Structure 1
């Protein structure tokens, strides 16, 4: 019974509506003898950086409750920094909710609860985005990693504790067609979208051939503008470091997307380049997962370059 009380306490720890869980006039002794969080919620074996949280959807009030509990196995270089977590509910939530860790070290605790108002129709189509940041004393921020948690099919067991590995640049699964590092920045004042094609890795190229990335700005089905990066020859891990800008009105930010095409140039100039892979970055109507998150991060941080690796996929 004691263990069941502890699990019940943990499942709703940080709840903003305590009276709904504990009726008036009752006393739970476990509330006054709750063991340390690191004893109740032990991380799974392994050295991966992991996030511990729980989610619950209340149909009566149409509220998604997210309890942020703790992190485990932060890399040593972040142990002395302040740890922040930013939560968003994609695709519509542009203003992040922020939580600050209570303490430093390899396993910081949060024990915070967040409420998202979302209809029962939309919640299965939503994705919880959790971005972990490490902040130095001079306020310089470093991205530790992120968790993208699709809610479809995950709300059956209310309040169960989840451990999810953080996705980082180092452990991101690579595409068999190769990956590209993209920088995005948007200036609402100047109505300008800045795109940087920085570098690529793991490309499968023929000897002596060149490769470039063609970028197209598209609104709905109409291609507004197309630009190309420089051509780099004879490298499977080329550095492009090519910057380009597009005119994009603020009212079209939620209707536009960027299409990247990896093209292998042909030695015969009369023949068109060979299409090796494609990538689309944009809002919810065009993209999912990291591709959607990259676009949302750009929108939520005006004039601030946001860099991320993406894998190419085959053209359909």
Structure 2
């Protein structure tokens, strides 16, 4: 029977669609068969390589023998590194198989070798307590990187305590950064890094302050010593290991004019600066007329207030325990300083002869003081309303 034109058109379209579908199925089957064949070949290739886990002298983690020159290093790698399909390179298999090793590949040992801390920064000989650290300034990001490594030759009385370190970048850094040692004993280790954001113009005028504290079992902190490290001229060889002696409390008690023990505290809410002159030692007396302390509060070059303590008996180690307070606004803490002058009043009552000075001391911010005098002022600022006591060396009056 003859088909109409419409029926013939539908039959031709159906046959065309069927042929296209059949062709697509044929292509998909060929692709799947080829992919399965490739996976079988890859599994057979891996099966021909002896497993590293079968070596009797190795631990559960596979290792690779890395050769550089005349020595070899064992570098551990995770298991999934060996089973990765992208890792198919084997270097010199004949020589390595004959020596009993089954290498996976060759890597640079220098990228994985980590030097031992004891070998690189072993404490130097001597009895002084020293701090090991490094500094590096990154001009592109304007960041100062400070790495704390370890302490060396810590005094025996601190061996059983926890050691803390507080870092500040003077004169602008008000918030100390803190690090805790990872052990006790004479040479506790830190291995901590800190980043200070400081511009390239200010970094050469800054000083790194490191205060080492020993925490006793009852929680009380005792100062071990301090390191003040001016950064000017020290950033040329970035990253080198530095050793610096700690300036301890005993070091501050060797002035030829004597020393004075002072306590400072500041209350920002009351805007009050409290000063307590506790005692002095090693004074070189000129007369037997007694000893007093004159304290002057200065803002820039202007003397704001002057107070004088009571006169005590003329002794080389007198006790004062005299307290005085000054009104000082918080915005003036970076502009003010305290000047202490130990005096012996004149025997002439007419007052024509000025008192005989025994020594002077200035406590204040970076504008006026350095060393322990600067650190004492910064500790007072950071420990609000908590008295901070410290011995200071007397200098000659100018």
Ranked by relative contact order (alpha carbons within 8 Å, sequence separation 6 or more), the top structure is: 1
1:73 and 2:153 matched:
yes
Higher Rg of the two aligned structures: 2
Q: Secondary structure at the match of 1:71?
A: strand
The one of 325, 329, 334 equivalent to 1:249 is: 329
Distance between the aligned counterparts of 1:27 and 1:312, measured in 2?
62
Contact 2:287 2:344 survives alignment (8 Å): no
Distance between the aligned counterparts of 1:231 and 1:27, measured in 2?
77
Q: Which runs of 5+ in 1 are unaligned?
A: 3-25
Contact 2:361 2:395 survives alignment (8 Å): yes
Please give the residue correspondences for 1:181-220 in structure 2 after superposition, counting only pairs within 5 Å.
181-220=261-300
Normalised by the length of structure 1, the TM-score is: 0.87
Distance between the aligned counterparts of 1:59 and 1:262, measured in 2?
46
Count of matched residue positions in the alignment of Structure 1 and Structure 2:
293
Give the equivalent residue in structure 1 for 2:366: 284
Deviations 1:1-51 (CA, angstroms, capped at 9, x unpaired):
99xxxxxxxxxxxxxxxxxxxxxxx97635644343122211221021111
Give the equivalent residue in structure 1 for 2:245: 165
Distance between the aligned counterparts of 2:255 and 2:151, measured in 1?
28
Give the equivalent residue in structure 2 for 1:43: 123
Q: 1:133 to 1:233 in 2, by over 3 A?
A: same
How far off its partner does 1:312 sit? 2.1
Deviations 1:118-173 (CA, angstroms, capped at 9, x unpaired):
11111111110001111123322111111111111111211111111111111236
1:93 and 2:173 matched:
yes
Q: 1:105 to 1:267 in 2, by over 3 A?
A: same
Judging by fraction of residues, say which structure has more strand.
1
Distance between the aligned counterparts of 1:138 and 1:33, measured in 2?
42
Contact 2:253 2:259 survives alignment (8 Å): no
The one of 234, 253, 256 equivalent to 1:176 is: 256
The one of 316, 321, 339 equivalent to 1:259 is: 339
The one of 305, 308, 313 equivalent to 2:390 is: 308
Q: Secondary structure at the match of 1:290?
A: helix
Distance between the aligned counterparts of 2:107 and 2:208, measured in 1?
34
Contact 2:166 2:212 survives alignment (8 Å): yes
Give the equivalent residue in structure 2 for 1:294: 376
How far off its partner does 1:178 sit? 2.0
1:55 and 2:135 matched:
yes
How far off its partner does 1:207 sit? 4.4
Q: Secondary structure at the match of 1:236?
A: coil
Distance between the aligned counterparts of 2:246 and 2:354, measured in 1?
41
Distance between the aligned counterparts of 2:108 and 2:278, measured in 1?
57
Give the equivalent residue in structure 2 for 1:18: none
Contact 2:209 2:227 survives alignment (8 Å): yes
Distance between the aligned counterparts of 1:113 and 1:59, measured in 2?
18
Q: Which runs of 5+ in 2 are unaligned?
A: 1-67, 70-105
